[in-house]
Amino acid sequence: MNAFKLNLFFIIPLFFLACDGTTNPSKLFEIQLEGNQTEFQKNQVVGISVKNLKNKEIEKITYTLDNKAITLNNDKITLDQLELGAKTLTANISFEGETVEVSKGIKLLAEHAPEIYTYEILNVYPHDMDAYTQGLEFHQDTLYESTGKKGKSSLRQVDFKTGEILKKIDLDNTYFGEGITILNNKIYQLTWQSGVGFIYDLKAFKKIDSFKYNQSKEGWGLCNDGNKIFKSDGTEKIWYLNPETMAEEGHFETVTNTSIFNKANELEFVDGKIYANVYQKESMMIIDAKSGAIEGVINFAGLKEKVTQHQNLDVLNGVAYHPQRKTFFVTGKNWDKLFEVNILKK
């Protein structure tokens, strides 16, 4: 018997074994969830089992959710994980001297529906009508702004009371400027689709470094909690970045009690919450910065009608919190006004 026939002799049985499904875990076992659901609210208690498709002798089953062990109580699991969004539920099954894993995708949603908020205008200030606002943030009493569009993108230091541009750095014409945040005497600025961001010395107002994006494909909004930086990228994900390396060290997903939401744009962090402009909408989300739960929605309807109407007028975008005044400042793309507002529960 030659070598070819010998190899064929061994390969053919293996082929039929694979086709029979006995080496494919998904053909042996299947995770079953109570009610055959795949979407659940945080803290929901759910019955779980493994369907034994080939009547194997199971010795042990353990479960993980996104690689973190979860405990069974009377064949039920409690979905009390901190971070919400799309998750992978895995069963590790020991049987007949073997161990395999089978998985099922689920969505973990917020426990409660978002509360509705409105606004009251406290003051109105002038704003550069040519500024396609993409990022807005206060440092002490000075406003910093990032503008977009290729050939018009910039980083600005602004006197918010007069609208005067105190300092300005123009980006190269190839870049579309996006969100900014200020941390440890540095200004961090995103670009949209170039896969790169810039770092500036706050006091010198001078570019000192750049960074590349990792898993996120685009740059939208930035904010920080004093320790880490949060970044939106046009998807349902908000990434948290190490400010020393700008490495993306993880993410959460923005969710309501009914769905995963992917419209977070410009960001601002205040007291454990991320305030995020909703892309192309006259509204803003209030997001829990640990879980991703959308806890509130602010309706800014009517604000756009209060600015000068012109052909380049675009949507609401730009939110900055003034810690000393304890008020929010909002504007939009090519708006000639900056509004100081209070946020009120409706």
Residue 339 token pair = 């509004």
Angle, CA 34 vertex, CA 33 and CA 39 arms, to 5°: 70
pLDDT exceeds 50 at position 89: yes
Q: CA-CA distance, 29 to 47, in Å (whole number)?
A: 17
> Which one has a higher pLDDT value, 34 or 22?
34
Averaged over 158-178, what is the pLDDT?
98
Model confidence at 26, in pLDDT bands (50, 70, 90)? Answer: confident
Q: What is the tens place of the pLDDT at every residue in 211-260?
A: 999 999 899 999 999 999 999 999 999 999 999 999 999 999 999 999 99
Give the Å distances, CA to CA, from 312 to 94, 130, 134, 171, 190. Answer: 64, 9, 15, 21, 23
Output DSSP code: residue 304.
G
Q: CA-CA distance, 137 to 318, in Å (whole number)?
A: 9
Positions of CATH 2.60.40.10 in the chain: 25-109
Q: What is the tens place of the pLDDT at every residue in 191-201?
A: 999 999 999 99
Find the Cα–Cα–Cα–Cα dihedral 74, 113, 323, 207, rounded to 10°: 80
Nearest alpha-carbon partner for 174 in 157, 192, 189, 187: 192
Contacts of 19 (CB under 8 A, 6+ apart): none
For 180, phi and psi rounded to 5 degrees? -135, 160
Residue 67 CA neighbour count, 13 Å, CB half: 0
The strand pair at 316-322 and 327-332 is best described as antiparallel
Nearest alpha-carbon partner for 220 in 247, 256, 185, 181: 181
Q: Decide if 75 contacts 48 (C-beta within 8 A).
A: yes
Averaged over 170-198, what is the pLDDT?
98
Q: Decide if 69 contacts 61 (C-beta within 8 A).
A: no
pLDDT exceeds 50 at position 21: no
Q: CA-CA distance, 153 to 173, in Å (whole number)?
A: 8
Give the type of residue at 179.
Answer: G
Model confidence at 23, in pLDDT bands (50, 70, 90)? Answer: low
Q: What is the tens place of the pLDDT at every residue in 289-336?
A: 999 999 999 999 999 999 999 999 999 999 999 999 999 999 999 999
Positions of CATH 2.130.10.10 in the chain: 115-345
Start-to-end Cα distance in the chain: 85
CATH number of 115-345: 2.130.10.10
Q: Decide if 222 contacts 179 (C-beta within 8 A).
A: yes
Give the homologous superfamily in CATH for domain 25-109. Immunoglobulins (2.60.40.10)
List alpha helices for the chain, DSSP H: 3-20, 25-28
Q: Decide if 81 contacts 68 (C-beta within 8 A).
A: yes
Nearest alpha-carbon partner for 65 in 25, 51, 46, 247: 46
Average pLDDT over the chain, rounded to whole? 93
